[in-house]
């Protein structure tokens, strides 16, 4: 079994209001502590017995629009990265620094990606 699920699947699987497990609440103002951490109803296929009345998942059309936006951003970013230019601010990358699991462009400190 693949450990990494396709991006298209992941985009459609998360509630539109989800902000990340390290935040206190979602965009709808619901505190994550309301639910058991292992069974957030923010994830469509987690078999949670808990429900959230504010849960709202992207439609197939919305997921496709997100995929096109992401693919466009990647097509813009890759040529810049290969030339040593930061894809976010378009300034030259003098060096890259690793902090935790992330890699940053220096001196602008924009995040370039993960290191694993
Ligand atoms: Zn930058």
The candidate with the shortest Cα–Cα distance to 32, out of 18, 15, 13, is 18
Instruction: Tell me phi and psi for residue 113, to 5 degrees.
Output: 155, -170
pTM of the entire structure?
0.64
CA 84–ligand 1 middle distance (angstroms) = 11
CA 71–ligand 1 middle distance (angstroms) = 20
What pLDDT tens digit does each residue of the chain (116 aa) get? 556 778 888 899 999 999 988 899 999 999 999 887 677 889 888 777 788 999 999 999 999 999 999 999 889 888 988 999 998 999 999 999 999 889 999 999 999 988 76
Q: What are 11-44's pLDDT values in tens digits?
A: 999 999 999 888 999 999 999 998 876 778 898 8
The candidate with the shortest Cα–Cα distance to 51, out of 100, 89, 15, is 15
Half-sphere exposure of 109 (CA within 13 A, CB side): 1
């Amino acid at each position: 079994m693949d450990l990494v699920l396709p991006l298209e699947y992941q985009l459609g699987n998360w509630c539109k209001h989800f902000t990340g497990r390290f935040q206190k609440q979602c965009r709808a103002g619901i505190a994550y502590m309301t639910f058991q951490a292992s069974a957030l109803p923010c994830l469509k296929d987690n078999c949670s017995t808990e429900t959230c009345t504010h849960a709202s998942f992207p439609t197939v059309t919305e997921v496709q629009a997100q995929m096109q936006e992401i693919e466009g951003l990647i097509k813009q970013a890759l040529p810049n990265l290969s030339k040593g230019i930061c894809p976010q601010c378009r300034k030259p990358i003098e060096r890259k620094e690793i902090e935790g699991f992330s890699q940053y462009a220096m001196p602008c400190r924009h995040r370039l990606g993960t290191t694993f």
